[in-house]
Amino acid sequence: DQQVKQNSPSLSVQEGRISILNCDYTNSMFDYFLWYKKYPAEGPTFLISISSIKDKNEDGRFTVFLNKSAKHLSLHIVPSQPGDSAVYFCAASNPGGTSYGKLTFGQGTILTVHP
Amino acid sequence: EAQVTQNPRYLITVTGKKLTVTCSQNMNHEYMSWYRQDPGLGLRQIYYSMNVEVTDKGDVPEGYKVSRKEKRNFPLILESPSPNQTSLYFCASSNAHYSSPADTQYFGPGTRLTVL
């Protein structure tokens, strides 16, 4: 049972345009969400997070939006750069539960930004 | 430099031959975890540890063991590896604890394991 889903395996965008990566979750107990970026032959690195008490969090070119009623979050990258080409993982957790620290990941989306 | 290290980075072995993948972090983190990454499945948690001598199963613990005798080290043990354990493994650590449960996890570079 995939509790966190990224339904788009890949996304291709032109440099300078907006990249939008989507993520859906089914577990209503999740209340903390993160995006990780992964380059080949490296471990995932933290990109941005959002708590369920917010609906938007921004950090430079990266913005995460959370729609709790739809159980949906998205990552916007504006403007996209070739160096953003990587696999992006959405992750969710329930820090208030007994399994604090546990992250449930989506399948990942491969983003390719063309020059 | 704050980091999580794993060894070996690549390993090819045969069915049934016990192996250990080491993981070490230098950030004094209490929480450590092991994940495996498989195509189409993302990262799935194998085992985690909230502190020294405190470990528990994640989502896919079958065929794995862990130990946490020191805060910085969290080795993953495959007593009798099988081909379905061929995967990319990541160790992670974070400062999450009971009073500050939401914290980002820092990942090691990964260990690519092939079991023939």
DSSP codes, A29-96: T--EEEEEEE-TTS--EEEEEEETT-SEEEETTEEEEEETTTTEEEEEESS--GGG-EEEEEEEE-TT
CB contact under 8 A, B98 and A107: no
Per-residue pLDDT tens digits for A41-97: 899 999 999 999 999 999 999 999 999 999 999 999 999 999 999 999 999 987 666
Tell me which chain B residue has its CA closest to the CA of residue A35.
Answer: B104
**Pairing mode, if any, of strands B87-94 and B111-115?**
antiparallel
Q: Which of A89, A100, A108 sits opposite B101 (nearest CB)?
A: A100
Q: Which two tokens stand for residue B103?
A: 């914290």
pLDDT number for residue A93? 86
CB contact under 8 A, B104 and A93: no
pLDDT number for residue B91? 97
Q: Quick one: which of A110, A106, A102, A114 has its CA closest to A11?
A: A110
pLDDT number for residue B71? 95
Per-residue pLDDT tens digits for A52-65: 999 999 999 999 99
B48 Cβ under 8 Å from any chain A Cβ: yes
Average pLDDT over residues B52-74: 95
CB contact under 8 A, A107 and B4: no
Tell me which chain B residue has its CA closest to the CA of residue A87.
Answer: B42
pLDDT tops 90 at residue A37? yes
* Residue A51 with chain B: CB contacts under 8 Å: 102
Q: Which of B4, B31, B44 sits opposite A101 (nearest CB)?
A: B31
| Residue of A6, A24, A35, A107 to mutate, interface with B, max B Cβ within 10 Å | A107
Per-residue pLDDT tens digits for B24-40: 999 999 899 999 999 88
Q: Which two tokens stand for residue A69?
A: 């009623």
Please report the sign of the dihedral spanned by the C-alpha atoms of residue A112, residue A38, residue B63, residue B56.
negative
